[in-house]
Chain A
Amino acid sequence: MFRSVDEVAARLAETGYLASPAVATTVFLADRLGKPLLVEGPAGVGKTELAKAVAEVAGARLIRLQCYEGVDESRALYEWNHAKQLLRISAGRDESWDETRTDIFSEEFLLPRPLLTAIRGDDPKVLLIDETDKADVEVEGLLLEILSDFQVTVPELGTITAARRPFVVLTSNASRELSEALRRRCLFLHIGFPDEELERRIVRLKVPGLGEALAESVVRVVGALREMELRKVPSVAETIDWARTLLALGADTLDETVVRDTLGVLLKHQDDILRAAAKLDLDAV
């Protein structure tokens, strides 16, 4: 898909995703080595966006499996269409049982869920398994066969192997340790907060109306907040929100009043707001 790391960065940038060198390198390797990519990092740094951007670059279909507590085989992999099978059985009353049995366990009665969909067909696909840590441990076992061999075993049908390997991205917020077996099958990428220069470019790209000087100030204040001991430090998503807020308010420079009034966009806990205000020498909020 890609020839060099620079090409990855350039083509991702065309879709509006500015990748750090770490991100570009790992995406390049995931493509080259044909391994799934496990992305961890704080909320709002663009883990899911990365999968979307890769899909757009590759001209591939994005198939998304959103994990949650209690997601299971029938929601992730495949399910037999029981109602249709019952109809089929009652429609063909004169058939022998053997005929019926081979018929009702055919592809026609199979409802493919995201994981199976990603494996079938030969068009390019990007499989996004979002918030893997929210799923139960049992689901990880389900993923292992797909991630290492890109195949799915359906007992009644046999093993379905991918004709064309999808580009797999797993994201995790680290609310639970994923098992070692799952991690071993993936390339690991931690997306942290971007450095000052990259974040400034992101803000300029996402909020084009914002002036150069103001964008720089915004990024510096956010950087300072991230150094404090807060319950929840602002992420890139919050930086962009804040920049949009400032644009909407028509502020052209930062001053105490503006920062004080809009701190709630960046920080989501009252404790944090008070603490940040004290550190930034704002008057009482």
Chain B
Amino acid sequence: MTAAGVTERLTGLVGALRAHGLRIGTGETVDAAQAMEALGFADRELLREGLAATLLHGTGQRPLFDPVFDLYFPRGVGAPQGEPTNREDLRDRLAAALAANDRALMGQLAAEAVDGFGGYGNSPTSDGWSSHQTLEWLRPQTLLARVRTSVRAEGGGRSGFTDRLLDDEIRQRIEGFRRQVALEARRRVAERRGRDELARRAIAPTADRVDFLFAGRAQLAELRRAVQPLARKLATRLAARRRRASRGTIDLRRTLRGSLSTGGVPMRPVLRRRRPVRPELVLLCDVSGSVSGFSDFTMLLVQALHDQFSKVRVFAFVNRLDEVTPLLVHGTADPEGLGTRIRDEATLTGWHGSSDYGVALGEFAERYGDAVGPRTTVFVLGDARTNMSDPNLPAVRQIAQRARRVYWLNPEQRSQWGTGDSAAPDYAELVEMHECRNAQQLSALVGRLLPI
């Protein structure tokens, strides 16, 4: 690569990262260029780490950086060398590579597989390379039993305690191979279509920026993993807000004690600490199919934050409402099954299975009205789609009057509010409604709205 070519690569990479919302200044780009100069181009992995160190600012940005890096600094160019292979031969070699856990060989096989089976179309404008097609041809997941047998045979038939881990380990290796195939297919497409466009379009956003309503299984699992660290972060933020809110009278005793180090001159006044009043929290969650991902995540997050509050009560509804607080307390041990258990064990539906905000909110005001008091903050989670039934505004008004604050978090895009059967604008007139589409928005809202 020429010097100008390298510079262009680097600025292209930075541009693509910026398009994904990373804030990278010119200073960092210059640092990255210096890093490239210091590291050279002999080792691609070193270059990757060097650029990551200079360009990135946080852990969450790495999943975005890696695929973009692979596009701009690809492992190779063009089709792999060698004879086109047939399917059985490739599967044999893949099984051997999986058994030996040889990542380099697996990468090479991924390249061959995409080259051999991934191509589609034959006109220069519409052809491309598909990882999906490659994997459908190759079906690496069916190799599990074969790999297991060969690993066991190699181990000389000794079956120890770790034998039970083998299946999961092989599954992970296969998953790794699938990622390599996707990477390779993207590299080949990029050669044809141009890197810049592909880097902007074809790279998935990080899990905390995916819409709750469109998140897949894997993304929801990733979000669940993020609950504990996020809760810790929010707790720190709440504590900081509490501290800052403690402006009051001067604590004479502690001010004088502090003045001893300055020869009895009170230089720094110490304020009296306010007695902490732990606020109460009530959550009303729509757990019907369309918004359940959002509700489950928020419930787990609030449960992880429960020691910040004197009392947390959680109610779930579809068209009837039931308290699920005890389920949630035990649910932290098995976050994955939480949603299913709530839907199985609580009475949430009456005559039909679609959500009805009017009836559910009315039931809450009637049966659990005493859960809401002047120290309570109420959060309603849901898309406010009432399936054409009565939104029951008086019930909401009643709750809002009794509570300290009521917030409504809506996982739908603001522009969708009020379309179709959405009663969002009606509710938004009575209570404060916020758009809350992804985990990033949620954590910002929770950090700001939670009572202190």
A residues near B (Cβ < 8 Å) are 5, 21-22, 25-26, 28-29, 32-33, 35, 40-41, 82-83, 86, 133, 136-137, 174-177, 180, 183-184, 187-190, 216-217, 220-221, 223-224, 227, 229, 231-232, 253-256, 259, 271, 274-275, 280-281
Question: Given contacts A180-B57, A190-B62, are A229 and B225 in contact (CB under 8 A)?
Answer: yes
Interface string of B330-343 (1 = CB under 8 A from A): 00111110000000
Interface centre among B62, B162, B221 (most CB of A within 10 A): B162
- Residues of B near A86 (CB, < 8 A) are 263
B172 CB-CB contact with A under 8 Å = yes
Q: Could you tell me if B25 and A184 are in contact, using CB atoms closer than 8 angstroms?
A: yes
Apart from A25-B39, A187-B53, A224-B169, list 17 A-B contacts with CB within 8 A: A21-B46, A22-B49, A28-B38, A29-B54, A40-B59, A83-B261, A176-B237, A180-B57, A183-B58, A184-B25, A188-B52, A188-B56, A190-B62, A220-B169, A227-B172, A229-B225, A253-B161
- Residues of B near A184 (CB, < 8 A) are 25, 27-28, 57
Interface string of B2-44 (1 = CB under 8 A from A): 0000000000000000000001010110010011001100010
Interface of B is mostly: helix
B48 to chain A, nearest CB (A): 9
Q: Could you tell me if B38 and A32 are in contact, using CB atoms closer than 8 angstroms?
A: yes
Q: How far is the CA of A183 from the CA of B24 in the complex (A)?
A: 11
B446 to chain A, nearest CB (A): 14
Q: Could you tell me if A33 and B23 are in contact, using CB atoms closer than 8 angstroms?
A: no
Q: Could you tell me if B161 and A254 are in contact, using CB atoms closer than 8 angstroms?
A: yes
- Residues of B near A275 (CB, < 8 A) are 333-334
**Closest A residue to B239 using CB positions:** A69
Question: Given contacts A28-B38, A256-B161, are A5 and B46 in contact (CB under 8 A)?
Answer: yes
B292 CB-CB contact with A under 8 Å = no
Q: Could you tell me if A229 and B46 are in contact, using CB atoms closer than 8 angstroms?
A: no
- Identify the 10 closest CB pairs spanning chains A and B, nearest first: A254-B161, A25-B49, A183-B57, A271-B333, A26-B53, A22-B49, A187-B53, A217-B162, A224-B165, A176-B236
**Which one of A25, A254, A281 lies within 8 Å of B53 (CB-CB)?**
A25
B330 to chain A, nearest CB (A): 9
Chain B 326-369 interface residues, beta-carbon cutoff 8 Å to A: 332-336
Q: Can you offer 14 A-B residue contacts whose CB atoms are under 8 A?
A: A33-B38, A137-B240, A174-B59, A175-B232, A177-B58, A184-B25, A184-B28, A217-B161, A223-B165, A227-B172, A229-B225, A231-B228, A232-B228, A275-B334
**Closest B residue to A74 using CB positions:** B261
Q: Could you tell me if B46 and A177 are in contact, using CB atoms closer than 8 angstroms?
A: no
B373 CB-CB contact with A under 8 Å = no
- Residues of B near A220 (CB, < 8 A) are 162, 165, 169
Chain B 234-290 interface residues, beta-carbon cutoff 8 Å to A: 236-237, 240, 261-263
B374 CB-CB contact with A under 8 Å = no
Interface string of B55-80 (1 = CB under 8 A from A): 01111001000000000000000000
- Residues of A near B165 (CB, < 8 A) are 220-221, 223-224
Q: How far is the CA of A223 from the CA of B162 in the complex (A)?
A: 11
- Residues of B near A136 (CB, < 8 A) are 240
Question: Given contacts A33-B34, A82-B262, A275-B334, are A26 and B57 in contact (CB under 8 A)?
Answer: no
- Residues of A near B57 (CB, < 8 A) are 180, 183-184, 188
- Residues of A near B38 (CB, < 8 A) are 28-29, 32-33
